[in-house]
């Protein structure tokens, strides 16, 4: 069984998954995916394969800070 990642574990990675974005935003993976696909200013994603989509952690954290300041 995979150990649950903490926010510190997530933010120390170069790339993060939609599941990890959901954890940062305190949302379900489904809602986090919706935001990544429908928010005009959400950072671009990177395709590592047909089924593996990731975002740069630093870009997501910058986006989150920007949203908190709004």
**Is 5 inside a domain boundary?**
no
CA 40 to chain centre: 15
The domain that contains 48 carries what CATH number?
1.10.1660
Per-residue pLDDT of the chain (70 residues; tens, 9 = 90+): 566 777 788 778 899 999 999 999 999 999 999 999 999 999 999 999 999 999 999 999 999 999 988 8
Residue 63 lies in a domain: yes
Q: What is the pTM of this model?
A: 0.84
Contact 18, 25 (CB under 8 A): no
Contact indicator for 37, 28 with CB cutoff of 8 Å? no
Number of domains the chain contains: 1
Structural domain contains residue 31: yes
Domain that holds residue 39: 11-69
DSSP state of 70: -
């Amino acid at each position: 069984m995979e150990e649950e990642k903490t926010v510190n574990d997530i933010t120390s990675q170069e790339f993060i998954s939609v599941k990890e974005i959901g954890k940062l935003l305190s949302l379900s993976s489904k809602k986090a995916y919706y935001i990544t696909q429908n928010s005009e200013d959400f950072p671009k994603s990177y395709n590592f394969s047909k089924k593996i989509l990731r975002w740069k952690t630093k870009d997501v954290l910058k986006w989150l800070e920007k949203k908190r300041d709004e």
